[in-house]
Structure 1
């Protein structure tokens, strides 16, 4: 005779804990890989968007003989100004908006009085949004933090892509007179490829900026003001390269974020690891490292942007706007934003 062995029908507590620990380790190992793959896909879509916008700007150049103006500054006292995005709308399958708004015939201030045009301008443009920016496609009204100041009393669809106005922090006055700049798209600009003497592949055309971390993304069709150098002015539609890449404002002692002025809110930044995407004037798109040489120490003959720190603007003293930049003091990133300084900088590592 023999005794029938008893069959065990359950795990012991120790075995169960071991299995749970193994599963937890596997999840911890896989999660970063999954997140990296998702970010790679988002970055690829962002690159494609910039490619579309650059090619649309080049089509505008081929049709009109120049790249779009960064923002339009009509010679009247209105603050709202059309931005470069509305001028390339016909080339990104949004011609219906331009046909209705007629930016060549009326100011943005006039157009905003028309309910049908306001509705058309409020349409989200997918080509203007980087999927790595987790905020909604509509910018909230109000001010401070990550909220864009409103104009026209309405929430507007955001744009993560801003044109490069160059190095200087110039805006326009109420007469429509705009300070000269050395980028490609700025106030009332009319820059052709002939004026980009550093070469189209060596000059930044468009860069990106997130809404997150107080950077303040833009509005795709226009600027809230044409006067004043602030995030509620032309920086709705443009950025400058005198601000380093990913110059995020540092938190205050209470944990709040300061205003983005003179930081990434007037420059270029991204939530991609290590840098930001830029489209060049030849239509190519590159991720430029945040570690690229960047020198914002102003030369002795410059003045700052009004903040008193003397580290941002490199702007010549009043009445001496023709004074040449001391390019030997500029960083490689600053040179990429200038179309005609004679310093050829490649965005592709040798």
Structure 2
């Protein structure tokens, strides 16, 4: 096995203290600040309650609550964007990606308009509300739309970085946020750049590519477990699902024995599919193994971590897939 190229960074564990603010609240606070500085920005709400305590100051007229009417929300955002504004629209991820999809597709994406869709309760973070509110399709749906940039920050600090960075991105942006607070990844990380993977570990045996808070934490924990066995894993935080960092994936396919993708999403259509498409196009012969939710609805209710474990999105599953790649038993498929 190859040696680690760098000392392991501190890993946030389940006992680690999270930022007291959920990512959606970090987003809210940054957005309120930005609206006070940039008159192009408008906040369109769907009665989420997220902004009830915000003092908008001189930006008060640029906060508009349209009520629970997601299609209208997207249509109004498209009209404002056509008029030179940069709207941030706010709703739950499953409503943005399914209920309002026609409006997102025809009004926003087709016209390549600078609308920022801030989608909270992504993945299984609304697990207490049951399958109707799980969002396991949104990354796949949104990355298929032409012109759409798709972002999934892994912690509170990354949320702030990506909100600030996305303001001047050309065309529409989908920003996937969770519901509750999640552990921080720690200090001293490389800065985020939209469209570039963030390297968290370096290793020459296998590459773990993850998106979103708990998948990234699972990849980091799996890298620790693998290191104890002499397997050196590169860990990439793929906070930008579209445009995908094809250069980083090409390097992984050329220099490591396999790629394992980790996501809080159905196996079809999401990060794993996107990575497999890139690697297949390279003709590198590098296996891509996925850790994702299988082709089934995540039954029942419960906390986000409970449902992730129940659906096999764990460090143990990531490590098992990495071993398969390293020892030549990769093949196609995903965990469980």
Looking at secondary structure, tell me which structure has more strand per residue: 2
TM above 0.5: no
Larger Rg: 1
